[in-house]
Amino acid sequence: MKTYRTLLFDVDDTLLDFGAAENTALRLLFEEQNIPFTDQIKADYKRINQRLWRAFEDGGISRDEVVNTRFSLLFKEYGLEADGALLEKKYRSFLEEGHQLMDGAYELIERLHEQYDLYIVTNGVSKTQYKRLRDSGLYPMFKDIFVSEDTGFQKPMKEYFDYVFERIPHFSIEQGLIIGDSLTADIKGGRLAGLDTCWVNPGEKANDTDIVPTYQIQKLDELQQILNLGRKPSAVRCLS
């Protein structure tokens, strides 16, 4: 396998359990509004939120439009009026407290940071991502953090990756690898930028897109096999 020097890690549902943080934040938000947080409301929120973030990834809307309208759109479906920006602010304060690590994430990063140049590449809100990374203990092990809000671009845009590459000393695309859970943001973006890609797919979701990662893993520690760090063969798949 190739020799890599620079590893670019996504955050949400790659290193940090965003699903757990999101569920807790939503429950607390709706409790504060005296509204039962039902499975149906949760499903409707996720549908609206995913649609908006996909539009953001495609460059159709801004990040502010995503975060400041998702709750007003949700409440509208239930015949209620809501201040989307105000609800977002409350939700954000709860979300910032969520820093639960994905299985094996801390141990992996702790080992890798002494041998590789590690960077964070994430779409999201800068203040939230920085706080969660600090609280998780991962922050000191990364050389830099690139949040879409700060760059003016987002994954999978090539401009986002150009911004990142220009700020990594002595960066070589041939020695770079991006690791993430999103086919449409991490893997598509990495491919557009010329990087090798590693799709973290713990649930073994079917890939019904034309986006083909270089590697596919189920567990984070399987990345060590790709990097030739002495791990025994497992579920790693070399796909391209």
CATH number at residue 147: 3.40.50.1000
Shared-domain flag, residues 191 and 165:
yes
Amino acid at 238: C
User: Residue 236 has what pLDDT?
Assistant: 62
- Of 63, 95, 127, the position where a domain reaches its end is 95
Q: E strands of 84-195, at which residues?
A: 117-122, 144-147, 176-180
pTM above 0.85, yes or no: yes
120's tokens:
């964070």
Shared-domain flag, residues 103 and 169:
yes
Shared-domain flag, residues 10 and 107:
yes
- Of 66, 95, 124, the position where a domain reaches its end is 95
Is 163:147 a contact under the CB 8 Å cutoff?
no
pLDDT tens string, the chain, 240 residues long: the values are: 689 999 999 999 999 999 999 999 999 999 999 999 999 999 999 999 999 999 988 889 998 999 999 999 999 999 999 999 999 999 999 999 999 999 999 999 999 999 999 999 999 899 999 999 999 999 999 999 999 999 999 999 999 999 999 999 999 999 999 999 999 999 999 999 999 999 999 999 999 999 999 999 999 999 999 998 754 445 566 666
- Collapse the DSSP code of 8 into the 3-class scheme (helix H, G, I; strand E, B; otherwise coil) and give the result: strand
Shared-domain flag, residues 227 and 111:
yes
The answer to whether residue 1 is domain-embedded is: no
Shared-domain flag, residues 159 and 64:
no
Shared-domain flag, residues 84 and 111:
no
Shared-domain flag, residues 85 and 187:
no
Shared-domain flag, residues 27 and 105:
no
Name every residue whose Cβ is closer than 8 Å to that of residue 112 and which is 6 or more positions away in sequence. 7, 118, 223, 227
Shared-domain flag, residues 132 and 215:
yes
Shared-domain flag, residues 29 and 87:
yes
Shared-domain flag, residues 165 and 51:
no
Number of compact structural domains in the chain: 2
Give the range of the structural domain holding residue 31, as residue numbers without chain letter. Answer: 19-95
Shared-domain flag, residues 116 and 73:
no
88's tokens:
């977002």
- Of 41, 73, 95, the position where a domain reaches its end is 95
- Which positions are catalytic? 10
The answer to whether residue 232 is domain-embedded is: yes
